[in-house]
Amino acid sequence: MQSIRGTKDILPGEIHGWHTVEDRIRHITSLYGYRELRNPIMEYTDVFKRAVGEDTDIVGKEMYSFPDRGGDSITLRPEATAAVVRSAIQHNLTAQQQIARVYYAGPFFRYERPQKGRQRQFHQFGCELLGASGPEADIEILALAHDFLESLGIKSRELHINTLATPEIRQQFKQELISYFSSHLSELSEDSQSRLQSNPLRILDSKNPGDKALSANAPKMQDMLDAESKDHFEKVLSLLNALSIPYTVNPLLVRGLDYYSHTVFEFTSTALGAQDALGGGGRYDHLFEHFGGKHTPSIGFAFGMERLLLAMNAQESIPEASNPEMYVIGFESDESRKAVISCAHALRIRSGKQVIVDVQNRSLKAQMKEADKLGIGHVIIIGPDEVLNNNCIVKDLSSGMQYTKSIDELDAFFG
């Protein structure tokens, strides 16, 4: 029996990195006043079809969708934004002009070809700021994402940013792209040819060298911007400057989901290889209306947690896991074992110490060896003599110092 292709067991030996990332998530989101929203991992398929768009790769070929026993079409969430908006409308999170600041972290599912940094079950951490349209909201989200990456020590990274303006301008831009690329149809890759009518914007971020060369001369969104979109984008850039957050304006950045307008961005890392996006996001000012809600301009991002860990591992920025503090060692006699179990229990419950004891009735030597392997700070030995005298030998494994202490003194000794 094997795990499903594209899924991974996160083993005890690697969990410390995950906990480090999760601790930073809690810390940074609390600094910015974001609270966690835990959505179900499955939704009606329509939630994603409508939000992400029928012509996107995600909806077109990557969703885990199935009819449930009642005949409803259900999808394992491929992303969170659609579900967050569904849930915000359902629970009135942004009623009466309120804004909502939420974050999430958990598993997501996309049927993609597995490779380094790309899995079929992966994890995202994301934030969504619902109900604010100004550039101050954009900068809050961008600064939060930036501070989070800083706190993880991920240095080898770049922020790419672009504007997709309004849906009307985006539509015009699509038409211009269709006519430009149509006149170079035979030079386009097969993939891009098939996208030409349905999703021509995606040709701009194709990695195929021929497509790239054509995209360099393609019409630019920048040349079509209306005054308001231009003003919004310039204000966001000037706020990034004010916070000294480095960025590159990338006119070819379009993102793979249909709900975006105005600001879009991506954080990439050279530590990752082909799948170089640590995370991305942008504005989605019209998604609430699309779901039948009231106009609620919003912006957010999501990071891939596996990719954060890959980048952290590459830079060795994951702090060492701490080892258990103590190992209480006994001899092979019932009295000694009983004393060991009581002593360990008291140290855990009364002194809050992390304590390991042998549960296989092994020799003193085997226990010492295990304590050493676990990187334990102190061993406490309770042999037959110590049982008689109600004391123990405390050995500091790093200094080699050894003391005899009464069992009742241990609490005070370890403070």
> Could you give the string, one character per residue 224-263, with x where binding to ligand HAM holds by CB under 6 A and - elsewhere?
--------------------------------xx------
Residues 266/254, Cβ–Cβ less than 8 Å: no
Binding to ligand HAM by residue 118, rule CB under 6 A?
Answer: yes
For 74-111, the DSSP string reads EEE-S-SHHHHHHHHHHTTTT-TT--EEEEEEEEEE--
Residue nearest to ligand HAM as judged by C-beta position: 304
Of 74-82, 98-106, 186-194, 228-236, which segment contacts ligand HAM by CB under 6 A? 74-82
Reduce the DSSP state of residue 326 to 3 states and report it: strand
Strand 391-396's sheet: what is its strand order? 355-357, 326-330, 378-382, 391-396, 402-406
Binding to ligand HAM by residue 285, rule CB under 6 A?
Answer: no
- 388 residue type, one letter: L
Binding to ligand HAM by residue 57, rule CB under 6 A?
Answer: no
When the beta carbons of 254 and 379 are compared against ligand HAM, the nearer one is: 254
Pick from 127, 137, 226, 126: which is nearest to 173 by CA? 226
Query: Which residue among 103, 104, 301, 327 contacts ligand HAM (CB under 6 A)?
Result: 301
Minimum gap (Å) between residue 299 Cβ and ligand HAM: 7
Binding to ligand HAM by residue 181, rule CB under 6 A?
Answer: no
Residues 102/36, Cβ–Cβ less than 8 Å: yes
Supply 179's token pair. Answer: 């006519």
Binding to ligand HAM by residue 128, rule CB under 6 A?
Answer: yes
When the beta carbons of 142 and 218 are compared against ligand HAM, the nearer one is: 142
Residues 179/279, Cβ–Cβ less than 8 Å: no
Query: Tokens 């993939």 map to which residue?
Result: 191
When the beta carbons of 24 and 110 are compared against ligand HAM, the nearer one is: 110
When the beta carbons of 200 and 300 are compared against ligand HAM, the nearer one is: 300
- From CA 366, how far away is CA 370, in angstroms rounded? 6
Range 265-284, binding ligand HAM (CB under 6 A) = 277-282
Binding to ligand HAM by residue 81, rule CB under 6 A?
Answer: yes
Pick from 142, 98, 389: which is nearest to 246 by CA? 142
When the beta carbons of 145 and 394 are compared against ligand HAM, the nearer one is: 145
Minimum gap (Å) between residue 13 Cβ and ligand HAM: 21
- 375 residue type, one letter: G
- From CA 304, how far away is CA 279, in angstroms rounded? 6
Name the residues that contact ligand HAM, by CB under 6 A. 79-81, 110, 112, 117-119, 122, 124, 126, 128, 256-257, 277-282, 300-304, 306-307
